Structure 1
Amino acid sequence: MNSARKTAVKILKEVFDKSAYSNIVLGRELNNSQLNDKDKALVTEIVYGTLKYRYTIDNILSYYIKSGLEKLETYILNILRISVYQIAYLDKIPEFAVVNEAVELAKNKSPKGAKLVNGVLRSYLRTKGSVDYYNKNNKLEELSFKYSFPMWMVKLFVESYGNEQAEKILDGLNLVPSVTVRVNNLKTDYEEAWQRLEESGYDIEEGKICPEAIQIKKGKNIEDNPLFKDGLITVQDESAMMIAPSMDLEENMVILDLCSAPGGKACHAAEIMNNTGRVLAFDIHESKLPLIKENAERLGINNIRCGVLDAAIYSQAYNDKADRVLIDVPCSGLGIIRKKPEIKWTKDKQSIKNLVKVQREIMLNAAKYVKKGGKLIYSTCTLSKEENEENIKWFIKKCPEFTIEPLYYGKIDNIIYHKEGYITILPDKNMDGFFVAKMIKHR
């Protein structure tokens, strides 16, 4: 068990101190470890749980460590964090076992640290039912502590959506995401894919909104399954699956996807067009292009061409060339926190303002590539109105040759249909938070 917790502490150090991506570090460490499947599952649980609830955990620890957490050695602090997480949020591990494991782990570094760990955790166990760790008369503090989000982010959601909707968003962003796959209609149909998944022992259900979506509730790693390896299905969140159908695609169109990697939306567009026309998939990072190519090859797609392109810098070669231009712009990612909980700690209000500048540069540039009668699709995986609604309103004023075409997917409980025509998808157990707007060019 101790080696599992030691691995978790090591991963958290990289994420907290070096801003590493949790999924990448976790995958690397588990692949290189000698841990059994049960311990690997424990590491995953502890890492994602501690990341998700860090705000609440640190509030609790600050009550017992009056000198401040910043003065603690990182290794000791992260031992305390994973221990409080296990005590507060996991009911299968006995509390005394958590404390003993934490003390043993701390001894490896320093006897003094082990004594501190022992004292803090035992104090927490003695008093946790009788202590107020936040001001119960302050609604923002209450929501921040309950759902473990930084105060500025809670305030942003409350100001944008109101108390009730904000609380649903906070709850949705803490849910454990299910794996969703998209059926590739170039290679199979929904019924066959469904049957084969059931035969492989997967517990599945239909997607919430997208006709190609299948939710995997339980089963082995889907990427090891022949259906995935042979390209009959691909993993994609159902919110992201809504982008390509929103583009009103027809066969033999020319599509530009300006921020494409890893290529899920470009591949979906190619599938809808039955491998006709051209999908030009660009990314600013050349290192990411193989991801697009690998996805396309696995799925049997041959109408995608990849290239390096800065979406914010004009290229004469694509002026008025595209029937559809997709800009899934770089964003703060506040809608995908359930998959990347470290976003809670790596973003701030200033980083959003910096992103808005880039997003607007991309929008103005992308508009030049859309031919008359063509359409521009803008999407993000954030819930920040500054990056979403405000950008669209700004763009329509700047480019009056475009008007918004309303999007509608049916009566879905987690979709906000704005009167202007664009939509916000709120996070729930099946879908990430997303924003989509479709605009047509009239001249």
Structure 2
Amino acid sequence: MRLHRNLCFSVIDGLTLIFNEGNYADKVIQQLLKRDKRWGARDRAFVAETTYDIVRWKRLYAEIAEVKEPFDRDNLWRMFAVWATLKGIKLPDWTYFENTPTRKIKGRFDELSKIRKFKESIPDWLDELGEKELGKDIWTKEMAALNEQADVILRVNTLKTTKEKLQAELFDLDIETDYLPDYPNALKLKERANVFTTEAFQNGFFEVQDASSQLVAEFLNVKPGMRVVDTCAGAGGKTLHIASLMENKGQIIAMDIYANKLHELKRRAKRNGAHNIEPRAIESTKVIKKLYDKADRVLIDAPCSGLGVLRRNPDAKWKLQPEFIDKIKVTQQEILQQYSRMVKLGGQLVYATCSVLPSENQQQVDTFLTSEAGKNFIFVKDNKVLAHKSGFDGFYMALLERKA
């Protein structure tokens, strides 16, 4: 591979924004990709994947390059040189790469790869927490899996098409996909491609949604004609899946504390042809109290650490703080206590997170079930999805039923 100066400069500019100014990697990369209209698919892929790669392995590369935060541009070029050397890419004769100690880089990599926090490039506190909660063996495997690049998975919108028809339509555009045996509405891309520019996407035939995330709506046992409340709907990935499972019959109340996310959901619902969704912003507790004892099904896709989705958000490792995890656990329990009251007698509730930590997952459910609000519920089943076993994101979901 030959390195091109303008592409490498873009990566360095992006890393400056992500590491030194705290910008989100996905937003930075979106901006970088608009820089030069002449870039082809390969150029764009280089910028996106290289930036993500260096973000993912920040601690390891910084340690090998012997640089510390905040990184100036020279530091970032040194980290870039480490990335290129470990990828077997020949460094061009540029001033930034003068005196790069290629052999020393490889030696340091071998040495540091024996220590998990460096090998998997994670902060000390997170490494200790993961081992404490999951045990050494599982945490080691899980972190390795969470550092792999995520596959692109589509969820077929059955309101508009079938899996077979969508697969054939994408094949005609040279986008090849595979079925996933245990995921009824999923197609996995054989190679990464920009699916958002396709007519099939614009016509609402599919959404991009990880396979593990697709399990949540299925777990909720919805039926056409029910009244369902999605309490932390966000931009509505799971809401739209619920709508397709309900065949547009019944009512889905999509709630969130962020009204702007619900505007995005409205736009997506229109494209998907999902007509039974009613967005409601949570501006006060009144919105929730009005629905006490009225829902057949309630989904609590709770805010969480997001540790299960590090493959697609590698910068989250560096933004997360232990205090945030402590705070979010309090919020999770408050949400469970309050939102569970919307479930009617005999109705069901799913509590879900995209975390792999038991303290955010089954321990929250156990705490709820022994509380005053939870004593009216029975535990039906749960699903602990670990990335190293599933090959997809880490997730948790528990199904509870309110006693009739």
TM-score, L = length of structure 2: 0.92
User: Contact 1:280–1:305 (CA<8 Å) still a contact in 2?
Assistant: yes
Q: Could you tell me how far 1:283 is from its partner in structure 2?
A: 1.5
Q: Structure 2 matches for 1:166-245, cutoff 5 A?
A: 166-218=139-191, 220-245=193-218
| Secondary structure of the structure 2 residue equivalent to 1:379 | strand
The partner residue of 1:302 within 275, 284, 288 is: 275
* Matching residue of 1:374: 347
Q: Could you tell me how far 1:310 is from its partner in structure 2?
A: 5.8
| Secondary structure of the structure 1 residue equivalent to 2:232 | coil
Q: Output the CA distance in 2 between the equivalents of 1:6 and 1:401.
A: 59
Farther off after superposition, 8-17 or 396-405: 8-17
Q: Could you tell me how far 1:35 is from its partner in structure 2?
A: 5.3
Q: Output the CA distance in 1 between the equivalents of 2:19 and 2:170.
A: 38
Q: Is 1:39 matched up with 2:37?
A: no
* Matching residue of 1:82: 80
User: Contact 2:302–2:353 (CA<8 Å) still a contact in 1?
Assistant: yes
The partner residue of 1:151 within 77, 99, 124 is: 124
User: Contact 1:334–1:382 (CA<8 Å) still a contact in 2?
Assistant: yes
Partner deviation per Cα, 1:7-52 (whole Å, 9 max, x = no partner): 1122112212232221111012211334512332221122101011
The partner residue of 1:4 within 4, 7, 22 is: 7
| Secondary structure of the structure 1 residue equivalent to 2:312 | coil
Q: Output the CA distance in 1 between the equivalents of 2:109 and 2:14.
A: 30
| Secondary structure of the structure 2 residue equivalent to 1:243 | helix
* Matching residue of 1:405: 380
Q: Is 1:351 matched up with 2:311?
A: no
Q: 1:273 to 1:171 in 2, by over 3 A?
A: same
Q: Could you tell me how far 1:364 is from its partner in structure 2?
A: 0.7
Q: Structure 2 matches for 1:252-331, cutoff 5 A?
A: 252-309=225-282, 315-331=288-304
Q: Is 1:426 matched up with 2:394?
A: no
Q: Output the CA distance in 2 between the equivalents of 1:127 and 1:191.
A: 52
Q: Structure 2 matches for 1:26-105, cutoff 5 A?
A: 26-34=29-37, 36-37=39-40, 38-62=42-66, 69-70=68-69, 74-88=72-86, 90-91=87-88, 93-94=89-90, 96-97=91-92, 100-101=93-94, 103-104=95-96
* Matching residue of 1:21: 24
Q: 1:131 to 1:292 in 2, by over 3 A?
A: closer
* Matching residue of 1:417: none
* Matching residue of 1:118: 98
User: Contact 2:212–2:385 (CA<8 Å) still a contact in 1?
Assistant: yes
Partner deviation per Cα, 1:237-289 (whole Å, 9 max, x = no partner): 11111111101111111111111121011111111111011101111111111
User: Contact 1:312–1:358 (CA<8 Å) still a contact in 2?
Assistant: no
Partner deviation per Cα, 1:104-162 (whole Å, 9 max, x = no partner): 5xxxxxxxxxxxx634xx2x3242344488678xxxx7111222222222222222233
Q: Output the CA distance in 2 between the equivalents of 1:57 and 1:18.
A: 19
- What is the one-letter code of the residue matched to 2:387? P
- What is the one-letter code of the residue matched to 1:439? L
| Secondary structure of the structure 2 residue equivalent to 1:378 | strand
RMSD of aligned residue pairs (Cα, Å): 2.2
| Secondary structure of the structure 2 residue equivalent to 1:436 | strand
Q: Could you tell me how far 1:219 is from its partner in structure 2?
A: 5.6
User: Contact 2:145–2:391 (CA<8 Å) still a contact in 1?
Assistant: no
Q: Output the CA distance in 1 between the equivalents of 2:241 and 2:179.
A: 18
Q: Output the CA distance in 2 between the equivalents of 1:75 and 1:328.
A: 40
Q: Output the CA distance in 1 between the equivalents of 2:106 and 2:242.
A: 53
User: Contact 1:237–1:431 (CA<8 Å) still a contact in 2?
Assistant: yes
Which sections of structure 2, spanning at least 5 residues, go unmatched? none
User: Contact 1:255–1:279 (CA<8 Å) still a contact in 2?
Assistant: yes
Q: Could you tell me how far 1:172 is from its partner in structure 2?
A: 1.1
Same amino acid, percent of matched pairs: 27
Farther off after superposition, 213-222 or 298-307: 213-222
- What is the one-letter code of the residue matched to 1:425? V
Q: Output the CA distance in 1 between the equivalents of 2:190 and 2:25.
A: 22
Q: 1:298 to 1:333 in 2, by over 3 A?
A: same
Q: Output the CA distance in 2 between the equivalents of 1:133 and 1:351.
A: 33
Q: Could you tell me how far 1:374 is from its partner in structure 2?
A: 0.9
User: Contact 2:296–2:344 (CA<8 Å) still a contact in 1?
Assistant: yes
Q: 1:135 to 1:61 in 2, by over 3 A?
A: closer
Q: 1:130 to 1:297 in 2, by over 3 A?
A: closer
Q: Is 1:127 matched up with 2:107?
A: no
- What is the one-letter code of the residue matched to 2:214? M
Q: 1:243 to 1:132 in 2, by over 3 A?
A: closer
